[in-house]
Every structure is written in structure tokens, then in C-alpha cells.
Amino acid sequence: MVIMMNSRFSDSHVVAPMTASRRRFLQGLLAGGAVATLGHRQSLAWALDPSTTAQSLSGKQFDLSIGETPSGITGAHRSATTVNGSIPAPTLRWREGDTVTLRVTNRLRVPTSIHWHGILLPTGMDGVPGLSFDGIAPGETFQYQFAVNQTGTYWYHSHSRFQEQTGIYGPIVITPKEGERFPTQQDHVVMLSDWTDEDPEVLFANLKKMSDYYNFNEPTAVDFANDALKMGFRQALAKRKMWNQMRMSPTDLGDVTAHTYTYLMNGATAADNWTGLFKRGEKVRLRFINGSAMSIFDVRIPGLKMTVVAADGQDVEPVSVDEFRIAVAETYDVIVEPSEEQAYTLFAQSIDRTGYVRGTLAPRAGMQAEVPAVDPPQWLSMTDMMGAMAMGSGMQHGSGGMADMQGMNHMDGMQGMAGMQHGSAEGGMAGMATAHHARTEYGPGVDMRVDMPRTNLDDPGIGLRNNGRKVLTYSDLHTIGGSIDPREPGRDIELHLTGNMERYMWSFDGEKFSDAKPLHFRYGEHLRIILVNDTMMPHPIHLHGMWSELESAEGEFQVRKHTIMVQPAQRISYRVSADAPGRWAYHCHLLYHMEAGMFRQVVVS
């Protein structure tokens, strides 16, 4: 794969699992556990210096040094790859209209890179080795220089093999020349990420050998007994038989779980309790960034409504919510208004419900609030597997709805049913979309195809449906000012997100990157990309260099983003103005999916 580079690790052994009690403490699963004051981790002498975990650099000239730093995040002696010695990397604060110069020095033993995620810039400054430049060799300094012609919350990370997983990621905040559209008195970056003590090369190898290696939420005998009580023995048995025939797991919500991951907020564990300060009555902007390698989070602040005012750096019409899902690489700005002089918990639980990270908003350092329990894990539903047809057959959500499934055979039977829209209570066949499968999808790299996917944007997703809270969906998001290109798209490109979960193969249209030809955009054209997710996992898809303008099911402009999460068995479309000549990366932002092949090159010429 063109972007692969040698691992910086020399050892290849599997790291022994951490004890359950220590893992639970680090992830904050023991709500009354010890908390470090001032929100800093209690680092060991050889570990990252806590004073370096919240660097902020501003101006037009930046010097960034990438190197190895001992890390005591879990108490184990491990080495991280860091920028200026910190995890996360320093927050870079730019100003709209400025030209910034960033000198990046590589002090590693292997090549490295920095990609400025969501930033519109010349292709040579994009930072993808093998596409936009050669990478930064050990001992060398590469100078990035480009004009800043946008505003909002973004981030940066390495695009070299697994260095993003081991620590090279940091926030970017771009201040508007005319001031914020939604001014606040306090402004905090909240960067979520995942850390593992394992060598990422070993982790990847484990997934290739056994895709559910880190999944400990598999169905149990107790689950079967509970299902038998709810739906009867025969239907409970049919339910197990169906999943066994498909050789798929109904709990495969995340490939890498808290079995190996410790979740971080601004580099701090749940036990460390990162804290942001406010004064009662102030408006507080929280800039949420998901800088994880593989973890999708559901975020809420018990006791506070959140007003979403920006998505992926672009201002949106304000929408009030209790909770939102943030995929890998997405950013959301929210405003909260604490009316009481008390602490509030920032709570982010993983989509698979195996762990969480928390921080605190408080008027004084050292305060903390109650930490809610992690929601119970849910099984994938018929909607997640079959798309729109599940609505008409009464099988859309939850662990039930098996009455019509007993006679179905493996995937051919499933594909013949894949179709109706989830959003309408009326159901029926209205709004059905038909997918067109490429011949390359009929091979060993694809274990599932959805013929008639759902097109709804108002589904919050597995684990968030009907939970009693107002959950943000893409249908709630409307970019202020509308589309940047009023032309109708001149052509469509349909791509399918494909995979074989058992073999841990991921691809577009059944072709992994090494076997696929580049996608060609004509410079200046306005086109529509249609993505159909033929898998049962969500995929955050990122197009470098150009905006992705998401459409509603009716083809109307919805929201402008740089990363769009496509839910299982879902069809989405977005418009792209091919206004950036050059070679660009296009990929799933789940790191191990990208490295396994869900990556394409886009050539604009």
C-alpha cells in the first residue's frame, strides 16, 4: 500500500493483557475511583511530563518536532510518538487569511508525515506519503506553507502507517477575521482518542488472524435464555442460527475495544479527569475532536443541553441536543450555558459500550460530578443488516423481530430482502433505493451485499435509538449559507464500502487499494459521489483536499463536511466540486480499515 511505512517498533511480541482491575480503573468504570487533581495524569518520572499535555501554539511560524517519548498512560513502560513531546500534539491556533509556515523535524528512526485534516491547501502540502509528497526522512525537516482560507475546528495527524495510533495527533483552531458567529466567554478543546500498550503491528496482525480478537461482547448462554423468555425457544434458536450461518457477530460494533484500548480526553484517562473551567452564567464553547484511530464515541453532559453550532469546522444552524455520536475524524463545536456553580461530567462512551472516558466542567479545579453508567451494549438490528426492507418486515430494531427470519439462508437469502426506508412510520416501499454492485464485489473479499439500502439521515444509529434523549443526526445539520457550488452535479460515481469481516479485508467495490485504479475527477467539474455501505459496521469516509456536501434523500443540500460516517446498510450521496488539482487520498478513517485496503487515490486533472 502506497502510504505504508515501516513500524517504529522493533519488537514483535504480543503485549500481555492488563489486569481487569487496573483496566477498569484507568477507564473510569469504577465511578468512585481515585481522581488526580487539576485534571493531570499522575505520571511516572520516566513518562510524559504533565505540563506538556496542554500546549497551545499560535501565530504564523511553527516549529514541530516528531520524536519518541516514554509514556506512562497505563503505568506500563511504553514509548509514544509525539509532537513536541506531548499527547495530544500541541493545539495550533491560526487566523483566517494568514499564511502559516510549519517546519516539521523528524527525530524518529523511520519516515514520518503530518496531514492537516480538513484543511484546503495545495496537494503538495497535504502530507500523504506516496501521493502528495515523499514523506519526511529521519533527521530531515520538511516545511509546510499554505494560506488559511477557512475557519473553525480541525486537527492534524500522521499519515505514516500506525503513527497516528501511537500519538501523532493534535487540534487546530482557526479564528475568523470578523470574530466568531457564536461568541462565548470560555473556549475549550476536547480531543478524544484511544491508546493501546500493544504494538499496532501486532494489533493489526491479531485482527487479520481473528477479526473478533478484541470483542468480548459475544452472545452468551444467558443471552439465549433471556431471548427464549422474550420470544420463545424456537425464535431464539432461529436468531442464533441466522447469525451462525452468516458467520457474523451481532455485537461487532467496533473492531478494537477497551480490552486493549484506554480512552483519553485531551491526553488524560477517565481517572485523571481532565477539567475545563467556567464561571456560572458564562457561555462555554467545547470543540470536540475525535482523534482516535478506531473508536467512535457517544457524547453527553448530564444536566446540560448542548447547542451544536459547527460540524467539521463549518458553522451550522444551531440545534439543541442531549447527545451526539462523533465518528473518527469528525469535529463538533457545541455551546453550553451552566447556570449553576457546580461540576458537570463530560461523558464519552465507546460505540461498543466496552469503556468510556470522562472529564469535568467546573467552576474550580478539583471538583467532579457523578459519572453515569455505561449504556448496555445492543445487538445489530435488521436495519443495520438489511437496510430498508427491515422496516416493512417489522424487524428494524432491537434483538427481536425474528418472526420472518426462520426460513432464510445465509447471505443470498438476506440480499434478496434488503430494502425499505427506516425513517417513515408508514413503511411501504416508498423511497427505496436500488444499489448496483460492481463485478469486483463478487469475490472472497466481500461477505455481504445490500441490494436496496436505506437512505434515511434521521437514524442516530445502533445504541442510540429510542434512548429517551435527543440525539443529533445528520438530518439535524444545516450548514449556514448553503452550498458553495449551486450547479447541479454533472455525473455520479457510485462506490460500495465492502469487506469480509471474518478475513478482515476492507475495500471499495471489493477491491483493496493495491488492486484498484485511481478515481479521476475532471478539474472544475461538479459531481456526485454515492456511497453504499454493504457492511454491518459504520465507516467514516474522508476525501482529502475538497469539501463533501451531504445531500438529503431527496437530493437537497444538507451539510458541508470533510468526513462523513456511512451507517450499516445505508446509502448516502454528496456533491464535490473538483477545484483542487492533484493527487488526493480518499479512505475510511478507521485506521486499520484503511491499512487493510479501504483506500483509493483520487486524481483531479
Query: Sorting pLDDT into bands at 50, 70 and 90, what band is 54?
Result: low
Is residue 322 situated within a structural domain? no
Q: Which amino acid is at 478?
A: H
Least Cα distance to 422 among 398, 387, 450 occurs for 387
Q: Which residues are CB-contacts of 295 (< 8 A; sequence separation ≥ 6)? A: 192, 193, 194, 254, 256, 261, 263, 328, 350, 351
pLDDT at 223: 55
User: What share of the chain in percent tops pLDDT 70?
Assistant: 78
In the chain, the largest separation of any two C-alpha atoms, in whole Å, equals 68
Query: Sorting pLDDT into bands at 50, 70 and 90, what band is 22?
Result: very low
Query: Sorting pLDDT into bands at 50, 70 and 90, what band is 194?
Result: very high
Query: Sorting pLDDT into bands at 50, 70 and 90, what band is 400?
Result: very low
Least Cα distance to 456 among 480, 487, 485, 425 occurs for 425
Q: What is the 3-state secondary structure (H, E, C) of 334-387?
A: EEECCCCCCCEEEEEEECCCCCEEEEEEECCCCCCCCCCCCCCCCCCCHHHHHC
pLDDT at 239: 55
Mean pLDDT for the stretch of residues 185-198: 98
φ and ψ at 200, to 5 degrees? Answer: -55, -30
CA torsion angle 572 574 578 584 (round to 10): -40
Range of the domain at 496: 475-604
Least Cα distance to 241 among 380, 386, 447, 402 occurs for 402
Helix, strand, coil fractions of the chain, as percent rounded to 5: 15, 35, 55
Is the per-residue pLDDT at 62 higher than 60? yes
Per the structure, the count of domains in the chain is 2
Q: Provide the 10 A C-beta neighbour count for residue 585.
A: 24
Is the per-residue pLDDT at 258 higher than 70? yes
Cis peptide before 568 (omega within 30 of 0): no
Residue where one domain finishes, among candidates 136, 157, 178:
178
Is residue 39 situated within a structural domain? yes
Q: Residue 144: which CATH number?
A: 2.60.40.420
Least Cα distance to 373 among 309, 439, 322, 302 occurs for 302
Mean pLDDT for the stretch of residues 279-292: 97
Mean pLDDT for the stretch of residues 503-512: 96
Is the per-residue pLDDT at 56 higher than 70? yes
Q: Which residues are CB-contacts of 579 (< 8 A; sequence separation ≥ 6)? A: 523, 524, 546
Query: Sorting pLDDT into bands at 50, 70 and 90, what band is 3?
Result: very low
Least Cα distance to 133 among 148, 150, 121, 151 occurs for 121
Residue where one domain finishes, among candidates 144, 178, 212:
178
Mean pLDDT for the stretch of residues 296-324: 98
Q: Which residues are CB-contacts of 522 (< 8 A; sequence separation ≥ 6)? A: 578, 604, 605
pLDDT at 106: 98
Q: Which residues are CB-contacts of 586 (< 8 A; sequence separation ≥ 6)? A: 519, 541, 542, 543, 544, 599, 600, 601, 602
pLDDT at 555: 94
pLDDT at 251: 65
Write out the H or E segment, with its range, that includes residue 433. none
Is residue 262 situated within a structural domain? no
pLDDT at 221: 52
Least confident of 198-207, 238-247, 311-320, 342-351: 238-247
Is the per-residue pLDDT at 480 higher than 60? yes
Calculate Rg over the CA atoms of the chain. 23
Is residue 508 situated within a structural domain? yes
* Mean pLDDT, rounded, of the chain: 85
Which three cell numbers mark 411?
447471505
User: What share of the chain in percent tops pLDDT 90?
Assistant: 73
Is residue 78 situated within a structural domain? yes
pLDDT at 61: 98
pLDDT at 203: 98
Is residue 479 situated within a structural domain? yes
Write out the H or E segment, with its range, that includes residue 472. none
pLDDT at 427: 34
Query: Distances in Å between the alpha carbon of 61 and those of 7, 281, 559?
Result: 30, 36, 32
pLDDT at 384: 83
CA torsion angle 403 406 412 415 (round to 10): 10
Is the per-residue pLDDT at 385 higher than 80? no
Q: Which position has the higher pLDDT, 345 or 384?
A: 345
Mean pLDDT for the stretch of residues 448-454: 92
Least confident of 442-446, 557-561, 580-584: 442-446
| In contact, 389 and 425? CB cutoff 8 Å | no
In DSSP terms, which residues pair with 358 in a beta bridge? 347
pLDDT at 265: 98
pLDDT at 382: 73
Mean pLDDT for the stretch of residues 64-71: 96
Residue where one domain finishes, among candidates 157, 178, 199:
178
pLDDT at 435: 80
Is residue 168 situated within a structural domain? yes
Least Cα distance to 445 among 496, 389, 392, 511 occurs for 511
Q: Which position has the higher pLDDT, 407 or 55?
A: 55
Least confident of 9-13, 207-211, 522-526, 572-576: 9-13
Mean pLDDT for the stretch of residues 81-104: 98
Is the per-residue pLDDT at 349 higher than 90? yes
Q: Are strands 297-300 and 323-326 parallel, antiparallel or unpaired?
A: antiparallel
Burial class (CB in 10 A: 0-12, 13-18, 19+), 600: buried
Is the per-residue pLDDT at 428 higher than 50? no
Is residue 43 situated within a structural domain? yes
Query: Sorting pLDDT into bands at 50, 70 and 90, what band is 219?
Result: low
Burial class (CB in 10 A: 0-12, 13-18, 19+), 1: middle
pLDDT at 432: 59
In DSSP terms, which residues pair with 469 in a beta bridge? none
